[in-house]
Amino acid sequence: MKCLLALLFGLALVLPAGAAEEIAPPAGLDIAYAVTTMGTVPVTAVYALEPKSGLRRLLFRDTDETNRIILESGGSDIAGAGRTAAPKDVYVLTGPAVAPELPAQMDAISRLRLPDEAGKQAAPERVIPLSLSFGDTSAYHLWNRAPVFALSADAGVFAVCVTRIGETRLGKPTIRVISSAGAEWRIALPGSDLYVSDLTFSPDAKLLAYSAMPVGDQHTLDRSRLPLAGLYVADLTAQTTKLLYSGFIDAIAWGPKPEQVTVSQRVGDIWSTACSAAVVSVVTGLKVKEFSLHGPTVGLAYSDDAQWLAAETVERDQRIWVYPVAGGWGKQAPISTETGGRIALLGWVRIPPMAATAAPGAEQPAM
């Protein structure tokens, strides 16, 4: 009995009153995610899911062969190659299904607009033209050529990690930091045997955090490169960069506080499938909090008010979880699972709550 009372008292300290009702984000705060179905040319759709009701609405679906959402390198979804900007814009990489031979820049970072009241879908709005290629070992004329990218909160600065610019090969994997005005700064990784697993901007867009990981399997990995793995922070004003926190990191998100970055890191060695989240201080480089995640995590995203964290895990199947920042870490709710397609967490959007009856583009609960 004493143990039971102690447990209940501990829960009372961690969970706010009415926590059972508050596990889901409020109506109007939705998870944005994409679903890609595979084929000769994959087709991607973008949805907004309202966790409170379980209803989702279709925001966009590929229809144009010459201007479609393009996928991450070597993958079958747009994990890391699609982001949201509050309150309701979704940014993705778009281009023709097959990369053109002509030097014209047909690829771009594009903004997706919500369907109008009649449910009519608008064409992607090209924001920054980019000539993309995903690597040196694969043919250029493939649909999966999109690298990971990030954008600032005001969508005024973008960061894209590439190994080529069109047909021009770069000496090392390089982050292109591009402003909407056209200015560019390039950050080259310490070696060609590293890759960027994720990137994110600080709220004021003065800093860029990115995670570097070594390339290789258990037979080809150069273990002398392991100390280079970790969380880096680049100062966009001074144009300097430094290793802030060492670890084998797959996904990052700025927050929950303005001077903190949350990372999903492999527990143990680089081959581990156990994963935990660490909140790292940008000022000190020290871990200030840690909590468990439900398996290998490829995507993290905080809501614009930093009250909710979404995480995409890929241990047995793909799943998106929501963690309330207040009331203790580790309270999660499954958001969506999909069959017949690959899902990718894009972030959060704020759109008017869905009515009980189906509106244009609305669907029944997705869980």
Q: What is the DSSP string of 315-352?
A: SSS-EEEEEESTT-TT--EE----SSSEEEEEEEEE-P
Residue 95 confidence (pLDDT): 87
Could you give the residue ranges of the DSSP H alpha helices within 15-147? 19-22
* Higher pLDDT, residue 210 or 16: 210
pLDDT at 356 over 50: no
Chain-centre distance of CA 63, in angstroms?
Answer: 24
Measured CA to CA, the distance from residue 43 to residue 72 in angstroms comes to 13
Find all residues with CB under 8 Å of 241, minimum gap 6, and list them.
187, 232, 233, 234, 235
Structural domains of the chain in order of their starting residue, each with its CATH number: 27-354 (2.120.10.30)
Written as six digits, the tokens of 15 are 């969970």
Give me the half-sphere count of Cα atoms (radius 13 Å) on the Cβ side of residue 65.
Answer: 5
Written as six digits, the tokens of 66 are 């010459």
Scan for tokens 């609960």, then name that residue. Answer: 365
Q: Which has the closest alpha carbon to 82: 146, 161, 170?
A: 146
Find all residues with CB under 8 Å of 12, minimum gap 6, and list them.
none
Measured CA to CA, the distance from residue 314 to residue 295 in angstroms comes to 7
pLDDT at 201 over 90: yes
Are 131 and 166 in contact by the 8 Å Cβ rule? The answer is yes
Chain-centre distance of CA 183, in angstroms?
Answer: 24
* Higher pLDDT, residue 179 or 339: 179
Cite the beta strand spans of 193-286 per DSSP E.
194-201, 207-214, 230-235, 240-246, 249-254, 260-266, 275-281
Q: What is the mean pLDDT of the chain?
A: 82
| Cα-Cα-Cα-Cα dihedral sign, residues 290, 32, 156, 298 | positive
Q: Count the helices and strands in the chain (H runs, E runs).
A: 2, 26
C-alpha dihedral (271, 275, 281, 286), degrees to nearest 10: -60
The model carries a pTM of 0.86
pLDDT tens for 241-293 read 999 999 999 999 999 999 999 999 999 889 888 899 999 999 999 999 999 88
Share of the chain above pLDDT 70, in %: 80
Give me the half-sphere count of Cα atoms (radius 13 Å) on the Cβ side of residue 196.
Answer: 32
Measured CA to CA, the distance from residue 196 to residue 60 in angstroms comes to 28
Q: What is the 3-state secondary structure (H, E, C) of 122-149?
A: CCCEEEEEECCCCCCCCCCCCCCCECCE
pLDDT tens for 127-150 read 998 877 655 555 545 566 778 999
Measured CA to CA, the distance from residue 151 to residue 202 in angstroms comes to 10
Provide the β-strand partners of residue 344.
34
